[in-house]
Amino acid sequence: GVSAARSRAMAEARGDAILFLDADDWLAPDALERLHATLETMPGAVGAYGPFTFMPEDAKPGDAPPRLKLGPYPSGDILERLLVQNLFANGGHVLLRREAVRRAGPFLTHLRYGEDWEYWIRLALQGPFLLVPGLEPVLYVRQRRGSAYHRMAHDPKAFIPVMDAIYSNPLLLERFPPARLAALRRRAEAENAWIVGRELIRHGERGAGLRRLRASVAAAPSPKRALLLAAAHALPVLPRPLRGPFTPYPG
């Protein structure tokens, strides 16, 4: 699987830094230069990452993105933010110090979903992540219909193993009291419900998606999510350009 392949690549790597690029995606021409320059500004940083943007399934390198993804892109100690949600599209816009990767160890091969998220958290426990200056993407991510979150939506227990792997890490108890960790896990579960709900709606399963969105907002209320939930309920009367994150996948 992908976890075993990445772990094997890490073991074989001989450079000072590592980046995991998925076969469907592509880097900006200056991506590695920008990532490396940023990483070199702080010797104690475990990695550097830059903005990314989603591309249609039939896109090719050189095509203009439909829109830029504006964040959030936090920098520094991002551990608490990572415990709530995976901030990275994948490893293609993250340049990691090889020494930090060695200390973190291999990917967990028993995880079907979220193995990269669990790994970023192990890295963030070691030190800060730096953000490349500017909003120009370093990575172009090909967006496909068969997303992991859509598949996960039809298997309610699929998300439990990665949550257990993340929140059972004993090093977290050295950074957060148990009550704080429990609260962060509840927020992470609400965030996952939101993403699954959004993906269900984008795949045409609006009723199931709305139920997930409502559960997410009930568990972790916010004004922005409340407005988006109202928009999701109004989708049948909204023109396509106004559907934002709930825009259906092509085809």
Residue 146's pLDDT is what? 65
Residue 35's pLDDT is what? 99
Instruction: Report the 3 state secondary structure along 114-131.
Output: CHHHHHHHHHHCCCCEEE
Residue 149's pLDDT is what? 62
User: For the whole model, what pTM was predicted?
Assistant: 0.91
Quick one: how far is CA 225 from the chain centroid? 18
Average pLDDT, 10 consecutive residues per value, the chain (251 residues): 91 93 95 98 97 91 86 92 95 97 95 94 98 96 73 77 97 96 97 92 93 96 96 94 87 63
**Cα–Cα distance between 82 and 187 in angstroms, integer?**
11
Residue 154's pLDDT is what? 73
Q: How far apart are the first and last CA of the chain?
A: 29
Compute how many other C-beta atoms are within 10 angstroms of the C-beta atom of residue 90: 16
Residue 240's pLDDT is what? 86
Residue 143's pLDDT is what? 83
Domains and CATH numbers, the chain: 2-142 (3.90.550.10), 148-246 (no CATH)
